[in-house]
Amino acid sequence: MTPSRTLALTEELIALSSITPDDQGCQRRLIALLSPLGFVCETITSNGVTNLWARKGTQAPLFVFAGHTDVVPTGPVEQWQSAPFVPTQRDGKLYGRGAADMKTSLAAMVVACEEFIGAHPGHQGSIAFLLTSDEEGPATDGTVVVCARLEQRGEKIDYCLVGEPTSAHVLGDMIKNGRRGSLSGHLVIKGIQGHIAYPQLARNPIHQGAPALAELVAERWDEGNDYYLPTSWQMSNIHAGTGANNVIAGEMAIDFNFRFSTASTPDGLEARVHAILDKHNLDYTLSWTLSGLPFLTPRGSLSNALSAAILGETGVHTELSTTGGTSDGRFIARICPQVIEFGPPNASIHKIDEHIEVRFIDPLKNIYRRTLENLLA
């Protein structure tokens, strides 16, 4: 049986070992398919990262498919049942690194465009692709660079559909209409090292810091809103001491992270943390890293078009959600009023034996095509 066009292209892309930030020719392959459809393709490189901006048409509204060609490392290859960059079908599933995150989505987007343009050559508006090989890495030379260039040129994006794997159990049961922000802190509480038998000659940063940490754990940062759960604060690493049981530590280092909603701001969260630490009279240093701001697309024309496409193709009533980690949608949301993420089930992403059920591949392509029809036909 001849594989579907989308399945065949997915397998082609999986076979290209594009471990971040190396594109390995994925975008070159997609350019070869998009150019004959009328897309003007522009490769934008930055510090070893390969980005693609491909646009067909000049009229508004502009609909953008966004995604990434890079994948995370495979982990121990010997633990895979089949080679991670040899696409392999077993028991109705397609295995390979990137199968779910997100080479199936890329293939589905391209084939959806082929079908849509073929059926509607005089469609309204414009269609574009924004792709990067830097989403799984630092994300400093990818989508953010392309967005900056588009903003400089005055190119306005009206709708953006990001192909991240968002479904939970079956295709279409969840789409992301926003993501929480990520704010990390590295806290060092300073003490005075000394012999544990002479605590009066030392200052124990663990003892001094514990009440403040307990207060940070118990703090209610916000109440969230209609789309977001309340902001969370979590410690990820804590270290103090020399390893000996008779030495009071000289300092304690803590790494923590906020996943915050649009109900809070980075400045506000930072100020509240400092206020708690200062209240406990700690001698400390604290450095901050803002990985991404939250974004939110309220229910509107894009989410309605996608929801209708999902229902029409699968019969599934989708759920809007803002759960999960960050994505490049946070950069696109700065220049686009409606950003939605939708793709295949995500249970196997970043894992050994990453896979997608073959039965979801063509319906995903059809959902992307139906969304285009709902907005531009």
Cα–Cα distance measured from residue 125 to residue 133, given in angstroms and rounded to the nearest whole number: 27
Q: What is the DSSP string of 24-58?
A: TTHHHHHHHHHGGGT-EEEEEEETTEEEEEEEE-S
Cβ atoms of 332 and 156 closer than 8 Å? no
Compute how many other C-beta atoms are within 10 angstroms of the C-beta atom of residue 121. Answer: 8
Cα–Cα distance measured from residue 376 to residue 301, given in angstroms and rounded to the nearest whole number: 12
Cα–Cα distance measured from residue 354 to residue 333, given in angstroms and rounded to the nearest whole number: 29
Question: Which strands make up the sheet holding 355-357, listed edge to edge?
Answer: 88-90, 93-95, 355-357
Q: The tokens of 54 are what?
A: 């491909």
Q: How many helices (H) and strands (E) does the chain have?
A: 9, 19
Q: The tokens of 127 are what?
A: 């269609």
Angle between helix 5-14 and 26-34 (nearest 10): 150
Which residue among the candidates 70, 164, 313, 328 is catalytic per the annotation? 70
Exposure string for 70-81, b = 16+ CB within 10 A, e = fewer = bbbebeeeeebe
Which residue among the candidates 11, 135, 353, 373 is catalytic per the annotation? 135
- CB-neighbour burial class of residue 234 (10 A; exposed 0-12, middle 13-18, buried 19+): exposed
Cβ atoms of 88 and 171 closer than 8 Å? no
135 is catalytic: yes
So which residues are the catalytic ones?
70, 135
